[in-house]
Structure 1
Amino acid sequence: MELILRNVKKKDFPVLKSLAKSLGFEIEEKDKPYNPEFVKEILEAEQSIRDGKGVRITMEELKELCK
């Protein structure tokens, strides 16, 4: 039988891991890393905003864009 736990908090993981080990269960950890290109784009965008290259718009302008 296979059991999958999702959304386990980091603080709870050692307890669950210890319990599983004491009961003789196998543990397989799978992280879902973000796409490196996506991360790079986000970091570059944040840096450009810090460098003052962002564009400020008002709520009215934003609402107009969303029509």
Structure 2
Amino acid sequence: MEITIKIDKRSKQAKVFYEYLKTLPFVEIEESRFNPDTEKAIKEAKKGKKTKTSLEDFRKELYS
């Protein structure tokens, strides 16, 4: 079974709880390195889901 817990580490109590969880042998911590949209794109790319676009369209999207 897998459970997801979101912890707002801005409070002292939350930081202490987070540090405690890291000491438990059966707890695996996955921290997000990027914002949710980027994380989603990375996961889709790893699964082989890609979108083709022309360089011109890419530049338009990038600079708009």
- TM-score normalised by the chain length of structure 2: 0.34
Q: TM-score, normalised by structure 1?
A: 0.33
